[in-house]
Chains A and B, each alone.
Chain A
Amino acid sequence: MTPLLDVEGDGPGNVSLMTSASTMESVFQSNPGLTERNYLGLSDCSSVDSSAGILEVKRSNLNLKATELRLGLPGSQSPGRDPDVDLASSVCLDEKPLFPLLPSQNIVVSGSKRGFSDTVDEGNWMFGSVASKSLVQGKFITDASANGKISSGTQPTMIRDATSKVVPQEQTHATYGASLNKVNTSNPPAAKAQVVGWPPVRSFRKNILATNSKNNDEVDGKPGPSALFVKVSMDGAPYLRKVDLRSYTTYQQLSSALEKMFSCFTIGQCGSQGASGRENLSESKLRDLLHGSEYVLTYEDKDGDWMLVGDVPWDLFIDSCKRLKIMKGSDAIGLAPRAMEKSKNRN
């Protein structure tokens, strides 16, 4: 995967505005080490870090000194600036300087305005719910305080609610990756990666037209059917996800995408079983959890029956699947005799 950003370090950078699908993939692949960057090329940060930059902003001939947007930011990097030039929005005179962002720089400010780094410790950022537990994944650094509110230190702190923590992989990652695979092998004309939510047509309509095109005799020559979104729920997970079944071609693809999507919930469960807050789960442990007798993947078919995923050929499956559910193995016993057998085989 080519890096998202092509930073030369000097001169105008190339604009390559990636689609959200590809950006998500890149983000997923990135390592968590973040370096601070200045998007208008004012600093000398050099390395490309795709995780911080979802998009690269064009740094062409935008003369920052001339644009009105720099107004009202006295004390920022351009010394020749007249701080009294008026701005469309007068409230902005109170703005803290945005640039440069590197904390090492000394920002000279006038009056009561504080430097950016001084403001950094204000404002704690927390997850929506007033959280009581903190949970850690490898990437995030938290003050592992068990209580919700954390007094401000030198850094803003975040609070996380263990039960609602989310690290689901953006579903577009699998979509993008899978549709690329699909495109290369079977449908050369439909070579465009499918961007999430584009074109802006409701899934209701997309699904209807997908079924229409199947029924319609004039389907020949039409490359690439449209999306087929179904809901995926998991026992114990606080909310659902949606997946586009047409973006996969095998059960294996679907399964691994779902694994990644729902991994966070499984980790949460593991954590709550007494493991200390800072324990990281290895990938293989995770896979064991999902592949073991713990969970099975089931689906509701057109007749309303719940079936085990994997019994019928893939095409037949996506034809009849209305929604998916990741059930505990024990709940799936009643499904079909084969279900138990299969989960035994997995152990």
Chain B
Amino acid sequence: MVYSLPEEVLEHVFSFITSDKDRNVVSVVCKSWYEIERWCRRKVFIGNCYAVSPAIMIRRFPEVRSVELKGKPHFADFNLVPEGWGGYACSWIDEMSRSYPWLEEIRLKRMVITDESLELISTSFKNFRVLVLSSCEGFSTDGLSAIAANCRNLRELDLQESEVMDLSGHWLSHFPDTFTSLESLNMSCLGSEVSFSALERLVAMSPNLKTLRLNRAVPLGKLSTLLQQAPQLVELGTGAYSSGIRSDVYSALSKAFLGCKELKGLSGFWDVDPSYLPAFFSVCSRLTTLNLSYATIRSPDITKVINLCPNLQRLLVLDHIEDSGLNALALSCKNLQELRVFPSDMYVADANVTLTEQGLVSVTQGCPKLQSVLYFCHQMSNSALITIAKNRPNLTCFRLCIIEPRTPDYLTHEPLDIGFGAIVKHCKNLSRLSLSGLLTDRVFEYIGTHAKKLDMLSIAFAGDSDLGLHHVLSGCESLKKLEIRDCPFGDTALLANVAKLATMRSLWMSSCAVSIGACKILSRKMPMLNVEVIDENGTLNPKLDNCLVEKLYVYRTVAGPRSDMPGYIWTMDRDSANKI
């Protein structure tokens, strides 16, 4: 006899299970658990919006309150995905507006969303609370006006790095006088000025405002006014951080910062005038997050700030920090978990900036909790990488970008295979890795052998042959996302590992050696994959199987081929295949 708990009890238990992975596991225990779980799932995360259709999602999970979708491939961030590729939110918004009247949260990343969809959101969901549009595009401030005007219970509006058609700064005025629920606003990506009085009014009537990220156009002189209205802020993104020589601005700002006892995160810092930096020194001891990655201030100034922030957990900064600044970081910030160092000059090493591999080595030595690294630099050595690996086996994310492709170990002139090999060998929980520098097939052998927890791998200008790709596909058991550009990987490795592709979210290969013939074979063998060949130049002749494809994007799906592909994408016509 099987005694089972009543549904209500199970549902109550399940309500404590919030992680998607755990929920998915729960749902496959047995049929009744599947049923109970699907009725009480409130949050859905869809890592590839084309992997499933809105209808399928709605059919399975009828009571969802929060949806997160991702659209374009990651390399779209670097202009590798042509315009018009897809990632349209429209059909999702349309269907959800009909089926999820109680939807509260929508989070989109790398998707295209129109003003019409934004308006639909604002009028369809009475309890709408959170809108996050991360690296999205296709909409204007008119859409934002609709959101402001109609979402009475809006708590969060985050436009992180989206491309917004900036028609007017007056969208902020559309928040009605009765609107008091705002907790988080990120408009840092907006280009033009917003109406300051509207902004001030909004801040004044939002007692729960915890996060405020301004855009560059908000002058420093106005910042103190806002801070005085919102001393409860936890995260602040400044606007332009300079104001000429104005002692009154400085003292007002200093005083305002003094009042912000809850402030834990600072960002913004566009156009920094170093003489204004001390104005926020009073909050440094509490800071856990600091984003100076748009501030072109020099190492001494950066170091001064860092030395005041012992509780720093997350630092984003330009390479102006130099090795000296990173040494200071290693000494002062023992709680550091994440470091991102961006290049100030994209192409040529700036003679004035001394950022080398040594800075990174220091930080990995001095910061025991460091887990996540993104580091742009011009030189690296195997010995440094080995030291880093041994210093920091707890790394979970290691993204190294040596700016010049195929740069060897600058000391030995060897490939960096053993260096990265040490990383994957020692950092057993590594889930994200980006490679750079001169690399042979060897490094992929190491990765395939050791990187068992690797979830996402980015490869560029590396490897010698198909063997490299084969090592990765056959060895990396947890691999979900693989993106490759400009590597000599081709048909053989791809076709030898077709089953692997069905266990992954997606594979991107551009400027590699994959032929259209192999794509056809892959398509035919794996009907659960969408094999999309991007042919921007129009030079592809799909009849000639030897023809190399420019860009290839393969992903698993239960929704079949998508219907919104632009003309430059080739896929297999399955209907004809079935007729044979």
Q: Which residues of A contact B (CB under 8 A)?
A: 15, 17, 19-20, 23-24, 27-28, 30, 32, 34, 36-37, 39, 51-58, 60, 62, 67-72, 87-89, 91-92, 94-96, 98, 101, 116, 119-120, 122-130, 137, 139-141, 149-152, 155-161, 163-170, 189-190, 192, 194-206, 208-209, 212-213, 215-216, 218, 221-224, 226-227, 229, 231, 238-242, 264, 304, 322
Contact = CB atoms under 8 A, between A and B. Distances in A.
Contacts of A130: 563
B163 to A, nearest CB: 8
B513 A55 contact: yes
A226 B345 contact: yes
Given A20-B510, A126-B573, A226-B346, A69 B401 contact: no
A199 to B, nearest CB: 5
Contact of A55 (B80, B346, B511): B511
Contacts of B466: 57, 69
B137 to A, nearest CB: 9
Contacts of B79: 196-197, 203, 229, 242
Contacts of B84: 238-240
B576 A149 contact: yes
Contacts, number: 304
Interface string B458-471: 10110011110010
Tell which of B191, B543, B564 has the most Cβ of chain A within 10 Å: B543
A322 B573 CA distance: 40
B27 interface: no
Given A89-B496, A125-B516, A226-B345, A212 B567 contact: no
Given A169-B537, A201-B78, 15 more contacts: A34-B541, A36-B544, A36-B546, A37-B546, A62-B467, A68-B496, A139-B538, A158-B543, A192-B347, A201-B342, A202-B161, A203-B78, A206-B346, A224-B348, A304-B192
B42 to A, nearest CB: 32
Contacts of B524: 119, 122-123
B576 A151 contact: yes
B577 interface: yes
A159 B573 contact: yes
Contact of B467 (A30, A67, A196, A202): A67
B379 to A, nearest CB: 14
B571 A139 contact: no
A127 B562 CA distance: 11
A47 to B, nearest CB: 13
Interface stretch (B363-371, B408-416, B483-491): B483-491
Q: Which of B500, B511, B513, B566 has the most CB of A within 10 A?
A: B511
Contacts of B491: 39, 98
Contact of A123 (B83, B541, B576): B576
Given A91-B499, A101-B545, A127-B567, A192 B348 contact: yes
A30 B350 CA distance: 37
Given A122-B577, A166-B538, A202 B567 contact: no
Nearest to B272: A212
A169 B466 CA distance: 29
Interface of A: prevailing SS: loop
Contact of B520 (A68, A137, A156): A156
Contacts of A70: 492
B405 interface: yes
Contacts of B492: 69-70, 98
7 contacts: A119-B520, A120-B517, A150-B576, A151-B576, A166-B566, A167-B537, A239-B82
A124 B465 contact: no
Given A72-B496, A238-B566, A62 B465 contact: yes
A156 B296 CA distance: 56
A148 to B, nearest CB: 9
